[in-house]
Copies of this chain bind each other. A is one copy, B any other.
Amino acid sequence: MNALDRYRTLLDDAVAQWRPETGPATLYEPVRYILDLGGKRLRPVLVLLAAELNGGRAEAALGPALGIEWFHNFSLLHDDIMDQAALRRGKPTVHVRYSPSAAILSGDVMLVDAFRFLSQVRPELLPELLQRFSRTAVEVCEGQQMDMDFEKRQDVRVEEYLEMIRLKTAVLLGCSLYVGGRVGGSTSDQAEALYAFGEHLGLAFQLRDDLLDSYGDPDKFGKTVGGDILQDKKTYLFIHALERASTQDRQQLLNNPNKGSQKVEAVLALYARTGARPATEAAIQDHHQQALAALNRAALPPTGEHALRDLAEYLLVRES
């Protein structure tokens, strides 16, 4: 993915050069820490990529791209407290390394700074982009709340799960492309189509994540295969199986007496009986196709269309 490397380098350089203007070091140390954990920087890469689809320059969209990256990191800081996650990318999470208060307040300042970065656009675009971004930000909060609510429920339906991952993950990918597109000269209609492309891509991406966790190649997948099963995570596979399982299988899913690899095997057998894997693969295909249909609607110049087609391919065939 050489085309994307340039965007990634631009972003990594900008993040490395970022310094807080003033303020207590204790507030900004956790900000530096989470930014330095790195990652693919997928969302801001999408902003820069979208800015060039119609002949614009990525550099002009660097402010909003950082805004999206700051927002994403804010959500990681706060979600990790709520989910009581101890590790992120193999390093202690901020609430563990520093304190819950540090993770809350440094997250808050990142959220505010996300708006400041996002505002670095031509004034005539500001009302529209601000509205799109803040609606997306609210939706991401709503998705996180639904995710937490689902943990306490045993009757979550597949449609509810899809709506949750749409809000928690997919809309921010859509928003990234929308913002970048508009900064780079896309029309409103093109940007709406890019948004839909990102949204369906995000859904397919998250579903593939669920799939890889249970069926990935252990040699290529970065985490333990079966991790979701061991943690009783309500994934697409789990919820699909739960909807279609016999009464006995349902009980086994909800109160599995096994541990370790035995538990993984038992649940995978149950997934096999209910057809959870092909159903998930079909849902991924469905959203991949819907993404490509949206891409068609965007009516981009050929180079732009190829770039996004390649991106979808890259994100949906990865194995880690």
Interface residues of A (CB under 8 A from B): 22-24, 26-27, 78, 81-82, 100-101, 104-105, 107-109, 111-113, 115-116, 119, 123-124, 126-127, 130-131, 134-135, 137-139, 141-142, 144-146, 148-149
Contact = CB atoms under 8 A, between A and B. Distances in A.
B81 A101 contact: yes
Number of copies: 2
Nearest to A84: B101
Nearest to A167: B23
Contact of A105 (B22, B115, B141): B141
A108 B22 contact: no
Contact of A145 (B105, B107, B135): B105
Contacts of A81: 100-101, 104
Contacts of A82: 101, 104-105
28 contacts: A24-B142, A24-B146, A27-B141, A27-B142, A78-B105, A101-B148, A105-B141, A105-B145, A107-B108, A108-B141, A109-B138, A109-B142, A111-B112, A112-B134, A112-B138, A113-B134, A113-B138, A115-B115, A115-B130, A115-B134, A116-B135, A119-B130, A123-B123, A123-B124, A123-B126, A123-B127, A126-B126, A126-B127
Given A101-B82, A130-B119, A134-B119, A141 B109 contact: yes
Most interface-central of A141, A146, A148 (chain B CB within 10 A): A141
A142 to B, nearest CB: 4
Nearest to A82: B101
A26 to B, nearest CB: 6
Contacts of A116: 131, 134-135, 138
Given A82-B105, A104-B104, 10 more contacts: A24-B149, A81-B101, A81-B104, A82-B101, A105-B144, A105-B145, A113-B134, A119-B131, A123-B127, A130-B130
A107 B148 CA distance: 16
